[in-house]
Structure 1
Amino acid sequence: MGWAHAAVAMEEVLDLVRGFVDVLVLAGGRTSSGTTATWSSDEVKKALRWALFFEEIFKDLRESGHYEDSAAELDAALTELTSSPEFPKGLAGVRSETLSTARVLVIRHFLKARAMSVENLGALLEAVVEMDIDVTCASGVRNACQEYAESILVMDSSCFIQKRNSAGLPARSNELYAEPMIHSRILVKEFLEGLESASCSCLAERGLGTILNSVKKNSVDGASNKPCTPAILKTSQMIDEFLVWKQWRAKCLSYLLDERTIRILSGASLIFKAPKEQWMKVFEPLKIFEESYQNGLVQTMELCFLGLISRQWNPLIEGFMLHTICSVPISKQYNDLHQLLQGTSLDECQDKLLNLEEKDILEYANQLLRRKPSILWLLPPVLIAAAIPPRSTLFQIYLAQIDKQFHEAAPADRKCCCGGDRIEQHHNCEITERIQCLYTFHIQQFHLTLP
């Protein structure tokens, strides 16, 4: 039967979903330009009324008995809409069931905004309370406002025990909205869940910290005064190595998943869609002033490297998230990377890995880096390792820069304070971090560098 709402066409709903998504992006704390968003109570009310409109549509469909067929047709259209590269990835799961509880989605986005200020939180609370009071007073019940205030004070997590679907939303919208003052109930529920999640994380971190400290101090046996055994020493060393690896992995992920990186990645994807002659002109203004030349070159190279990996971004992130601690000594990692340059010709390997657009980007990056290869030290190690093709000229330039740190670099040019001329003398420094990133993407998980 398909879409069967008597008053609203499905095309109108899809158009409204596009606008609703923009509202949710602002609710998440960022404008379309990436700056911090601020909102007033009136703007919050508009967002909630927009959500109410969607809920009313699906309420009408349920009451008319046409929900299942209508939802199926709308979901098919939403799947096509959300698969567009321009559609915000964090909202790609929007479907009819999501829109049936749209106010939950709106309030959740407002509460989880990264840059939640006191003013924004005040606007959210003011809007929710005013909307509920308006409904309460309109009911004509005596002392309605007093009862409303008292009902909020006695809310606890037991108020919200209900069946949920896989998206984390109530299984049916009318289950959540059967109670009065629902805006406040949604808000309190999200507060409680956020506090519970934060408490669990805090307790877990404290518990793990206590266990690790106990092992490292050889206090597992309580009050025992036995001397440290080789097994305990080895365990302590393994924990130290794990903590170093965890710190390195967190640093890499913090760059890859940062909002700034995602915005630059989106910009790079758009820039490099244009012909090479056009996107090269975009970078020319960065070279005009000599004092800003280095910063401009760093920005250009970051765009180039993100352009090289934009096509394989999702599998790259997924693969790196699955990365486990590497027990190979740093000296062997370093030697294996040099062995990687042997055998296959640089150009042959490059041709197999890259499409035409990426070859143009790589050629442009090579030209810039031949003149100033030291710029590589100003870029995140994980970005370079993920972007440069194995056995490529750029890989050779980068590895040569690392080689110089052991034999040719003057003290002023050293990138770490280890003070050794051999790789074994370096530990948990920038040089080992860059070697480990290269090893991860080109040896340990070679398939991540393939398109």
Structure 2
Amino acid sequence: MGWRHPQISMEEVVNLIKGFVDILILLSGYQSSGRIAHWDSHNVKKVFQWGLFFEQVFGSFSCSDDYASSVEEIDAALSEITSAASFPKGLAHLSSATLAKARRFVLEHLIHTLPLRDVHLRALLTATVEMDLEELSETGHDFLNAYFNKLKSQNTLLDQRIAPATTTENCGSDGFTRIVEWLLGSMTWNRWKSKNLSYFLDKRTIRLVSGASMIFSAPKIQWVQIFERLNLNISAGSSDDGLCETTELLLLGCITSRWTSLIEHLMSISHDYKNILEQYNEVCNLLHGRSTDLKSKQEATCTKGSDILEYLSGFLGNQMYQLWKVSPVLAAVAIPSWSPLFRLYLSEIQIQFQGDFSTMRCCNCANDKKEHNDCELAERIWCLYIFHVNGSHLA
């Protein structure tokens, strides 16, 4: 039956899509000449307005089966466009389905292709606020109060630095500022992911893993003797650095057999839209939700790990603060939830999260009366969450 949209022709839509692709290329940070693209709020507004236009056009197709042939025709045209050798490979999945959620498509393209600098984020924030205000100004006179009330009801950026995130799929119906709220949570998530992945892949860490693998391949009586000699040297030198390095080596010994799978899991995770409070609550539930059957199963399949954790508990004694000196991701992946060490580690996290007195303070959020959203404590909770909740098969 062919193209049936009553207000725009097939040729016009195709030409507009090509223009949209050109803007997405600019959104990647560069012009077609290779020069750096100029970012400002005007250009950001333009690309989201294009996205809104395509949402309206392609969203109307879902209202009736009569438009099925139109969808098939546009997808055929898009397939021909995206298969061209000169077409950007990062946009090759462009289709009527992605254009029906074009603002989501724009946001995900922005996050995945461009390291957002301050100037980019400032332009994005300015543009989204301006677009929301323009939309509200058409509905009433007191649009500023309406905007502030909307932000307050959504617990967005005016209330906290990183509010409870939302899926990009729902961003459009809640206003453009909601998109930025989601973006900030995603940026923090990706920064923590990159930082902790860097620890795993650091040359020093890899050397320690290799050493730990060799040490703990020996019978327990032999590797215990090695660490007893290390302890004597540390005691003689009164070196706190030595305590920390020994703690790190013992923790790495717990995960040598899972090294590759842990890295693969960390690389595969994506922003799942839970805020730190929600992550914290789910991690705390582990203490009540794990059964003794699971403990027995894990201990049976990881006797060496249990031996190392038992030795580490005795080694640390009343110096549990050493766990706060190692990488957040190492503490998370090396200590299973059935271990007494996990309970001690999580108990300290609970004390700090609730703002109670602690000698092991890792951030000033409680003193400053701020939410734990982008601090070391939040990062440690996040690491526990992604491995013990999202990756429970690995923990």
Question: TM-score, normalization: structure 2?
Answer: 0.55
Cα deviation 1:203-237 (Å, max 9, x = unaligned): x5478987654322216989x97779661221121
Q: Distance in 2 between matches of 1:261 and 1:215?
A: 38
Task: Determine the structure 1 residue equivalent to 2:362.
Answer: 415
SS in 2 for 1:342: helix
Alignment counterpart, residue 376 of structure 1, candidates 316, 323, 326: 323
User: What residue ranges of structure 1 are gaps of 5+ in the alignment?
Assistant: 1-203
SS in 1 for 2:269: coil
Cα deviation 1:220-279 (Å, max 9, x = unaligned): 989x97779661221121111111111111111110111111111010000001111211
Q: How does 1:300-449 map to 2 (within 5 A)?
A: 300-345=246-291, 349=295, 351-353=297-299, 354-405=301-352, 406-410=354-358, 413-419=360-366, 425-449=371-395
> Would you say the 8 A contact 1:272–1:307 is kept in 2?
yes
Q: Distance in 2 between matches of 1:366 and 1:219?
A: 51
> Would you say the 8 A contact 2:321–2:360 is kept in 1?
no
Q: Distance in 2 between matches of 1:398 and 1:305?
A: 13
Q: How does 1:72-151 map to 2 (within 5 A)?
A: none
Alignment counterpart, residue 273 of structure 1, candidates 206, 217, 235: 217
Alignment partner of 1:238 is 2:182 = yes
> Would you say the 8 A contact 2:328–2:380 is kept in 1?
yes
> Would you say the 8 A contact 1:306–1:383 is kept in 2?
yes
Larger Rg: 1
Task: Go from structure 1 to structure 2 and tell me whether the alpha carbon gap of 1:352 and 1:206 turns closer, same or farther (over 3 Å shift).
Answer: closer
Task: Go from structure 1 to structure 2 and tell me whether the alpha carbon gap of 1:420 and 1:357 turns closer, same or farther (over 3 Å shift).
Answer: same
> Would you say the 8 A contact 2:209–2:256 is kept in 1?
yes
Q: Distance in 1 between matches of 2:368 and 2:346?
A: 16
Cα deviation 1:334-360 (Å, max 9, x = unaligned): 222221111545685155254222221
Alignment counterpart, residue 230 of structure 2, candidates 258, 268, 286: 286
Cα deviation 1:313-372 (Å, max 9, x = unaligned): 111111111101131122222222221111545685155254222221121112223431
SS in 2 for 1:447: coil
Structure 1 letter corresponding to 2:192: W
The number of equivalent residue pairs is 244
SS in 2 for 1:379: coil
Question: TM-score, normalization: structure 1?
Answer: 0.49
Structure 1 letter corresponding to 2:225: K
Higher deviation after alignment, 353-362 or 225-234: 225-234
Task: Determine the structure 2 residue equivalent to 1:4.
Answer: none
> Would you say the 8 A contact 1:212–1:239 is kept in 2?
no
Task: Determine the structure 2 residue equivalent to 1:216.
Answer: 125
> Would you say the 8 A contact 1:346–1:393 is kept in 2?
no
Higher deviation after alignment, 375-384 or 271-280: 271-280
Structure 2 letter corresponding to 1:409: F
Task: Go from structure 1 to structure 2 and tell me whether the alpha carbon gap of 1:362 and 1:425 turns closer, same or farther (over 3 Å shift).
Answer: same
Structure 2 letter corresponding to 1:429: C
Q: How does 1:28-39 map to 2 (within 5 A)?
A: none
Task: Go from structure 1 to structure 2 and tell me whether the alpha carbon gap of 1:266 and 1:291 turns closer, same or farther (over 3 Å shift).
Answer: same
Query: What is the percent sequence identity of the aligned residues?
Result: 37
SS in 2 for 1:371: coil
Higher deviation after alignment, 427-436 or 360-369: 360-369
> Would you say the 8 A contact 2:250–2:312 is kept in 1?
yes
Task: Go from structure 1 to structure 2 and tell me whether the alpha carbon gap of 1:332 and 1:316 turns closer, same or farther (over 3 Å shift).
Answer: same
Task: Go from structure 1 to structure 2 and tell me whether the alpha carbon gap of 1:246 and 1:351 turns closer, same or farther (over 3 Å shift).
Answer: same
Structure 1 letter corresponding to 2:266: F
